[in-house]
Amino acid sequence: MNACLGDAVGQIYAQKYFPPDAKAQAQAMVANLIAAYHKRLDALTWLAPSTRAEAQAKLDTLYVGIGYPETWKDYSAYEVRPDDAFGNLWRSSVWYFNMQIARIGKPVDRHEWSMTPQTVNAVNLPLQNALNFPAAILQPPFFDPQAPAAVNYGAIGSVIGHEISHTFDAEGSAFDSKGRVRNWWTPEDHAHFEQQAEKLEKQYDAYEPFPGVHVNGKQTIDENIADLGGIAAAYDGYRASQHGAQGPTQDGFTGDQQFFIAFGQNWGSQTREAALRRQVLTDGHSPGQFRAATVRNSDAWYKAFDVKPGETLYLAPDDRIHIW
């Protein structure tokens, strides 16, 4: 019953808040980011040819769901009665069980969604080699069809790039382009990846939200790597959308500055001290203020704001980490 209600609300939400022109614009952004990842993979000297080929194949076959599913689930076999709450719940469980059983012996539906359109989130689905970006996250402040390209790429573009990056991280490397569990990396590739990851772990270990309380770089490494790849690919995608140039200056900020400001605003939040302490101890994501600090590894950020040695977030070029 809950799934049925979620889908019904999702259809209404998608129709009202995510029109076709917004979907087309978001799809164009996705295409630019995938193209950016193709170029970045081609430029990596540490990937073996066989690893690079499979990574490119994963990009070529990646399904990116934007806004809402192409096909809504069929609930015609589910009977809802206005005077039978318990029966409705029971029959919904039976409907869901039968749906799952019906999968046996059939190919994986790579276009099946795991989220409702009204969910503010995004997900990478390694078994499907797929991503879902529900309509609710494709709303301001993450995405606005009327906003400058720099703002959209810095905000939702970095989120899209983050999820694409998971295709190649510690978990993604265990699944190939067909969603099969298969290690397609060479030992040398893994060794280099782990070496760079360890450097990023140490960078995040140094962050201290409270005196004596540090971010756990190992616990958050997969998400930190995804943030790192996401902002790099989003910046490339943004520049590609402007044919290599910066977009127009707005309110005194250059296009590049707008991009990085929008990225930082993604992570603006207020968290109670107890909740933040719990997050540091248990969450695989770094606190928002340190996710915003991903820019420290971006050469373009230093140029955009003329960041100098001695300033708080400055990292020497040799200390900046680039993985993808």
227: annotated active-site residue: yes
Cβ neighbours of residue 255 under 8 Å, at least 6 residues apart? 148, 149, 150, 238, 242, 245, 246, 247, 248, 249
**What is the residue type of 103?**
R
Query: Are the C-beta atoms of 236 and 299 separated by less than 8 Å?
Result: no
Choose, from 163, 176, 222, 236, the residue flagged as catalytic.
163
DSSP state of 279: H
* Residue among 54, 169, 189, 227 flagged as catalytic: 227
Name the packing angle between helices 20-43 and 49-61 (round to 10°): 180
* Separation CA 242–CA 254 (nearest Å): 13
The pair of structure tokens assigned to 95 is: 């409907």
The answer to whether residue 70 is catalytic is no
Q: Is 81 left (phi over 0), alpha (psi -120 to 50) or beta?
A: beta
- Asked if 129 and 167 touch (Cβ cutoff 8 Å), the reply is yes
Q: Cβ neighbours of residue 27 under 8 Å, at least 6 residues apart?
A: 64, 66
User: Two tokens at 207?
Assistant: 């962050």
Please give the C-alpha separations between residue 202 and each of 165, 265, 292, in angstroms, as whole numbers: 20, 25, 17
Phi first, then psi: give them for residue 316, nearest 5 degrees: -60, 150
- Active site positions, annotated: 163, 227
